[in-house]
Amino acid sequence: MKDVEADVLVVGSGIAGLAFSLRASRYADVLMVTKKDRADSNTNYAQGGIAAVFDPEDSYEDHRRDTVLAGAGLCHPDSVDRLVREGPERVRELIAWGVEFSRRDGELDLAREGGHSHRRILHSADLTGREIEESLLRAVSEEERIRTAEDHFVWSLTASHGPAGGRRRCTGAVVLDVQEGEFLRVRSRAVMLAAGGCGRVYRHTTNPAIATGDGVALAWQVGAAVANLEFMQFHPTALYPAGSHAFLISEAVRGEGAVLRRRDGERFMERYHPSGSLAPRDVVARAIHAEMREAGDDHVLLDLDPLPDGCLEERFPNIRRRCAEEGLDLPAQPIPVVPAAHYQCGGAYTDAGGRTTLRGLYAAGETACTGVHGANRLASNSLLEAVVYAARASRSVRRELADLPPPRSGGPEEEPAMERPGTDPDEVGDRVRELMWEDVGIVRSDEGLTRARRGLAELSEEPLARDGSPTGAMEARETAFTLRLARLMVRAAGRREESRGLHYTQSHPYRDSENYLHDTVLAP
């Protein structure tokens, strides 16, 4: 394999990877690899915005309280404090990098979403993620010390022991250059995992096709601990019919006044939570699920009548355009919506400085479990967490880089190959998504988890690349990552014999804080 060297290898080109790379380029040579086009990431599809305290009537304590309340007892208080106190500075940094947030009369136009007690959501109309992604990509393109490799897929991470059997550390990665069809050995002092989420583990998701859980699967493969994988957030309002990449209807639409109704017109959220349609996402998703099952419906309705005049045109032009393509005349007609897998609250287990349990390996964004989200993410905290903890990880790498010299050894733990014996990756992937949707979804049970565990155990981890092409090899490896992650998610869910936040099981429908008020940590 061809050898490539860099001080820091960054896996992923979403907001966490871009923000980290921009900061790390101040003191190191950075190689940022992404398996698709640079702009293809979960960040690009984020509609709502980024939460931070800018309203004079808001406070750090209020933001902290809202976050902890949503997190159902599992948020790390110190992690949340760092998020809310460092958040405004990180948002100002985004603005300095060229991000333009919507303004009204020259001031930031702050929106409100479910679970928030104040208007604190900065947005760019309803295309906030795209604005952030494009602005940071422009900033990255101007940095000489950042090399970007598109169509490069991280096959595996590498690790070695230090002198005289010292502590094991990450030494780089084996990367497939999909265009050239060759494997590269990237040797680096430090590796940042910012590879996004895992929505493709489920049949219906708001995530793009790239969200196959690569980052968490890679962390586990190389020996890092993972945590809280049982907490998968389902966005309550994806446009029906949902598919493998559902279009989400931003929570901010409900923040502006829209309400949920059954298909027969009955408002129902007030029966589940005092905040009604602005309840936390886990409550809303379960309520919709329950109402659909009771009525035998395949979706519910989002009523737009309460929205102020002109709100759709000014605040949600992309949602109105997309719904018009589906033949919906907004706001005269309600929007048919259904829950879909949206955000993984768990991930590679990190400390306050973005360090995983493996020396030299760092993580941020949806790939990481920082302790901020607990058992349920508060809306629009994800983009903020990504930039806050990417900055903290960058500071850690800067301090530790001198102690992480370029490795001289530490090859791949398995020889990469374009093609391996096994079953068709499409068959394996479809079966994974079916099992996870039916038995590890919004509502779970011991029986369903056992059924999912057995079904996943029957599947091969080495699906056949159909044609032996580089693209086929990448897709087969993605399927293996998805299967690996699904097994870990089921394992984590089986360990939590209670209902908390996003993990609701009919077999244990109540919280058990005496025995389960802690993270679910899995170690290889």
Catalytically annotated residues:
281
Structure tokens at 243: 């598919």
Say whether 121 sits in a helix, a strand or coil: strand
| Cβ-count burial 453-489 (b if 16+ within 10 Å, e if not) | bebbeebbebbbbeeeebbbbbbbbbbbbbbbbbbbb
CA–CA distance, 358 with 213 (Å, rounded to integer): 19
Contact present, 160 and 402 (Cβ < 8 Å): no
Contact present, 364 and 228 (Cβ < 8 Å): no
Read off the amino acid at residue 12. Answer: G
Read off the amino acid at residue 307. Answer: L
Q: Which helix (H) or strand (E) holds 170?
A: strand 168-177
CA–CA distance, 259 with 267 (Å, rounded to integer): 8
C-alpha torsion sign, points 307, 313, 319, 325: positive
Contact present, 396 and 362 (Cβ < 8 Å): yes
| Cβ-count burial 216-241 (b if 16+ within 10 Å, e if not) | bbbbbbbbbbbbbbbbbbbbbbbbbe
